Amino acid sequence: MKVLNVVGARPNFMKIAPLMTEYSQRGNVHAMLVHTGQHYDDKMSDLFFNELEIPKPDVNLEVGSGSHAVQTAEIMQRFEPVLTGYRPDVVVVVGDVNSTIACGLVAVKLGIKLAHVEAGLRSGDRTMPEEINRVLTDSISDFLFCTEQSGVDNLLLEGIPEKKIFFVGNVMIDTLLKNKAKAERSDVLSQLHLNGSGFAVLTLHRPSNVDDASVLGGILDALEVIEKDMPIIFPVHPRTRKKLGSGSIGGRIEKMTNLRLTEPLGYLDFLKLMSHARIVLTDSGGMQEETTILKVPCLTLRENTERPITAEIGSNRIVGTDPAKIIAAYRHAVNGGWHEPATPPLWDGRAAQRIIDILLG
């Protein structure tokens, strides 16, 4: 079987790594890897390939940044000749970025079967570009691989035939479990002058949080309280950094001496940082899952989540952006109100194996 795998952005790399490893252990599959170049700087791309031992991509489309329309169109144009030249039996896309839907559309229009890893996740918020990508990709896929039961339920409600839906577990957790011991050898804590677990980790990148000055200001209100208790380590997404350095926001951040802004971190450094944190605050999707396995309290700075299992088992609280709610949830978590959660079903490090077993039939 010829399988063409697509990655484009940083969250994709952790999801494709265990699949590429599993392909290499099978004698009856030829796996090609295409990198669209949606994320292209060293910290967001090359470093992750090296750390996760992902093979060098067979093709890099090098599309770079752009608006959603420009980026999606450019990926489609550059991906089509790759597909017509290679003619795989199946195209595998992961996650919910522009590369996911762009390459999926090209594949199905050429009559090539499409597999979506991390299918069925729904936030219910159509203002999120990722939600649009998820819904559309699922609607055209032939194999829908789900990480949690809510994904299966959502797809059935949307009319997807049951025979296309497979509950296989979470490939991001495959990657985490494989690399956790290696990450412990990172010296990132000493580099950041951190002792023990008395620190918080923060990530922010969603436009709804960083583009609106009033929303971002409210989040800073909460952070000003938290930083009085403990250092907050904030690896800053390149897009977010542009928003933080201007006007009154920039002035407030300068005065927050315990809010430590860093460059984006590699996978192993960031995994070590999360593993030892007292609490994580984020608007990311994947970190809600990773903190669940790491047994670290997570506060999600959004009004919804597409990963409800994390909230249902209690590892993650959806707190929105109201500073009073963030502070209350923070105090509850660090003062004994958070209890170690159970592990979600099939988050056992063998999702990639199940996926490839199904693809090979």
Higher pLDDT: 324 or 197? It is: 324
Angle at 163 between CA 161 and CA 165, to 5 degrees: 80
pLDDT at 361 over 60: yes
* pTM beyond cutoff 0.85: yes
Query: Taking the CB of residue 25, how many other CB atoms lie within 10 A of it?
Result: 9
What are the φ and ψ backbone dihedral angles of 174, each rounded to 5 degrees?
-55, -50
Residue type, 170: N
* Cα 187 to Cα 60: distance, rounded to the nearest angstrom: 32
pLDDT at 119 over 90: yes
Q: Are strands 259-262 and 232-235 parallel, antiparallel or unpaired?
A: parallel
Query: What is the share, in percent, of the chain residues with pLDDT greater than 90?
Result: 88
pLDDT at residue 137 greater than cutoff 90? yes
Whether 116 is a known active-site residue: answer no
Catalytic residue among 205, 237, 276, 339: 205
What span, in angstroms and rounded, lies between the C-alpha atoms of 8 and 118? 15
What does the alpha-carbon distance between residue 326 and residue 301 come to, in Å, rounded to a whole number? Answer: 8
Q: Please report the domains of the chain, with CATH numbers, ordered by start residue.
A: 2-170+347-360 (3.40.50.2000), 181-337 (3.40.50.2000)
Tell me which residue has tokens 């050429």.
Answer: 110
Strand partners, 300: 282, 318
Residue 239: pLDDT band (50, 70, 90) is: confident
For the segment 26-44, the average pLDDT, to the nearest whole number, is 85
Q: Is the CB of residue 256 less than 8 Å from the CB of residue 223? A: yes
Residue 40 has pLDDT above 70, yes or no: no
Structure tokens at 130: 């990722």
pLDDT at residue 109 in the model: 98
Q: Judge residue 292's burial from the number of C-beta atoms within 10 Å of its C-beta, 0-12 exposed, 13-18 middle, 19 or more buried.
A: buried
CA dihedral of 9, 17, 22, 103, whole degrees rounded to 10: 0
DSSP state string for 124-135: S-TTSHHHHHHH
Mean pLDDT over the full length of the chain? 95
Secondary-structure breakdown of the chain: helix, strand, coil percentages, each rounded to the nearest 5: 50, 15, 35
pLDDT of residue 43: 56
Is the separation of the CB atoms in 62 and 77 below 8 Å?
no
pLDDT at 44: 63
Q: Which residue has the tokens 């956790």?
A: 180
